[in-house]
A and B are shown apart, each in its own frame.
Chain A
Amino acid sequence: MTLFGKSGIVYALATAGAFFLLMGCAYSPGSDSQDKPAARQPYEGKQPLFQLIYVIHGDASYSYHDPQGRRHYADQEAIAQAIEVAHAGLNAEIFIFHQKPARTRFFFPVKNGILFHFRFGEKVREETYLRYANGTSLGSEVALYRTYSASAPVRILLYFGHEIPERDGRGYSASYPSRNFSLAEFTRGLQEFALTGNDASGSEKPFALLTLSSCKGGSPVTLGALGAFTDYILASPGDLHLSYMDTRAFMGIFPDPKLPFGKAETRSLASEMARNSFDKLKEATQTEITVGLWEDGRERVEFLHHPPRFGPSQFSEADTGTYRRSPKSPTKPTTIK
């Protein structure tokens, strides 16, 4: 007190307070200033045909390098692709959740998830949220979905991330090392999403399609656990490069979908997505590529396989069915139906 004097301390505290305010204003990524609900005019009286839910995990090491040595970030590229799809979704409602690493400010957790919400091709909301706010892995995302979701006949969930562990998944989110994210947690999340009514759906199952853009999403255990939730599962039974699945096939069906959009149409869409993903991965990677499509988590309706350029395959002849390399077209994928 004697050192600085009373007025000095007051002055310092006032300046610090102002500085805090300025810091708060200056910190902008995903700022809640954008949270205000946008005008709903395009949505009134109109029902979307498709509802896509992208969940993109970004709380781990997701960097990879291209042949030129440039570093890419898989989660950011997945977000960019999802937003591209969302802008084309003139008859769709699209939720894009980006799960980012935990951060703190002044010892308090900072919001570390971002929701991009699109309706009919327009972004209506960009909102930050705190992951694990209610303690469960997908609870915060489900809460936002319940708040803003409309009904749509065709509901599809797309997950992008590392392999979802079949058992102990502690450490899956690097900044939440004690939190568990395993197949059981993911299944619980799907159940919570499914609890949100979808009156417009003609399907008995909550989802028409589930896309797992991760390693080993097509393992027998995973397929068995998820089959009850969805008509079709698009996934890789082996390792999947971080350049991920290509989901831009939606952009081809948005303008002129075949109606009613039932199981056959979903299967056709998923098959196209499988082939596009396979082609993209084959062009960019030298590792083994497997992309499969399953009906009800049981019957394999599509399986695209390209062996690794070096070393043994993870899959036996029995796994790949009648896989054979075509002598005339060595890079042509084998489709087993």
Chain B
Amino acid sequence: MLYRLSTMAVLLTASLFASPTRAESNSTLLAEKLKTSLNQMVQKVQQAENPETKRTILSDYLTKMETGLKEIQAKPSINAQDKQTLAALEEKFQKHLSILEGTEGNDAVVDGDLDAFAGSVQQSMEQAGFSGGGFYISTGALIIIILLLIIIF
């Protein structure tokens, strides 16, 4: 019995080391989480039955992301590099919000275009929102952002 237990212990340890492991980087993990949350938002907008509900979902999401990212930046545990990344993200969400609401010289999105607008926000963020060199994020900031996403959804 002991032989078998020892063999199993060795095998278990061996399998841990033998399997190729991929350390998901913080930036990739964050980007994937945000892409998932954006997709959930788009699906909710598409499934909503009336324009008021669609607009509320969009506005709530963009506002919470913008204000949440701003609040995270104010935390003392966030380093300068994280702040830079978070500020860039915040600005992108803020721009989309101003288009939705028709502020800052933008034409407001009309009721019939809300589904398309949600898709446009998603595509815009997916293609350039979290990409390119210099997109760094620390583990501490990542945890806070993921908590933010959990609160939103």
- Chain B nearest CB from A7 CB (Å) reads 8
B120 touches A15 (CB 8 A): no
Given A241-B123, A286-B123: A171 and B14 interface contact (C-beta under 8 Å) = no
A61 touches B3 (CB 8 A): no
Contact flags A219-237 to B (C-beta < 8 A → 1, else 0): 0000000000000000000
User: CA separation between A241 and B125, bound complex, in Å?
Assistant: 10
- Chain A nearest CB from B118 CB (Å) reads 10
Chain B residues touching A, range: 35 or more
User: CA separation between A110 and B21, bound complex, in Å?
Assistant: 9
- Chain A nearest CB from B11 CB (Å) reads 6
Choose, from A191-199, A308-316, A319-327, the stretch at the interface.
Answer: A308-316
A39 within 8 A of B: no
A291 within 8 A of B: no
Within 8 A of B (CB), among A174-230: 174-175, 177, 181-182, 215
A261 within 8 A of B: no
Q: Counting chain B CB atoms within 10 Å of each CB, which of A3, A5, A171 scores highest? A: A171
A43 within 8 A of B: no
Choose, from B23-31, B59-67, B70-78, the stretch at the interface.
Answer: B23-31
A103 within 8 A of B: yes
Given A169-B134, A174-B25: A13 and B43 interface contact (C-beta under 8 Å) = no
A165 touches B132 (CB 8 A): yes
User: CA separation between A69 and B101, bound complex, in Å?
Assistant: 25
- Chain A nearest CB from B80 CB (Å) reads 15
B6 touches A311 (CB 8 A): no
Q: Which B residue sits closest to A22, measured CB to CB?
A: B18
Which A residues touch B117, using CB under 8 A? 309-310
Q: Which B residue sits closest to A166, measured CB to CB?
A: B133
Q: Counting chain A CB atoms within 10 Å of each CB, which of B20, B42, B126, B133 scores highest? A: B133
A168 within 8 A of B: yes
B35 touches A309 (CB 8 A): no
- Chain A nearest CB from B101 CB (Å) reads 12
A33 within 8 A of B: no
A9 touches B131 (CB 8 A): no
User: CA separation between A110 and B32, bound complex, in Å?
Assistant: 24
B119 within 8 A of A: yes
Q: Which B residue sits closest to A241, measured CB to CB?
A: B127
A239 touches B134 (CB 8 A): no
Which B residues touch A4, using CB under 8 A? 2-3, 6
A60 within 8 A of B: yes
Which A residues touch B131, using CB under 8 A? 60-61, 162-163, 215
B28 touches A106 (CB 8 A): no
A240 touches B18 (CB 8 A): no
Given A4-B6, A165-B133, A171-B136: A285 and B123 interface contact (C-beta under 8 Å) = yes
B127 touches A242 (CB 8 A): yes
Q: Counting chain A CB atoms within 10 Å of each CB, which of B15, B39, B106, B136 scores highest? A: B39
Which B residues touch A102, using CB under 8 A? 22-23
B25 touches A177 (CB 8 A): yes
Within 8 A of A (CB), among B117-151: 117, 119-120, 122-124, 126-128, 130-136
Of the candidates A27, A175, A215, A309, the one whose C-beta lies within 8 Å of that of B128 is A215
- Chain B nearest CB from A93 CB (Å) reads 31
Given A9-B6, A240-B127, A310-B109: A65 and B35 interface contact (C-beta under 8 Å) = yes
The 24 listed contacts between A and B (C-beta, < 8 Å) are: A4-B6, A8-B6, A12-B7, A13-B10, A16-B14, A19-B11, A19-B14, A23-B19, A65-B38, A67-B119, A163-B128, A165-B133, A171-B135, A177-B136, A215-B127, A215-B131, A241-B123, A242-B126, A286-B120, A286-B123, A309-B116, A310-B113, A311-B96, A312-B106
Q: Which residues of A come within 8 Å of B, CB atoms?
A: 3-5, 8-9, 11-13, 15-16, 19-20, 23-24, 27, 60-61, 63-65, 67, 69, 71, 101-107, 110, 162-165, 168-172, 174-175, 177, 181-182, 215, 239-242, 285-287, 308-312
Top 5 A-B pairs ranked by shortest CB distance? A165-B133, A61-B31, A169-B133, A174-B25, A162-B131
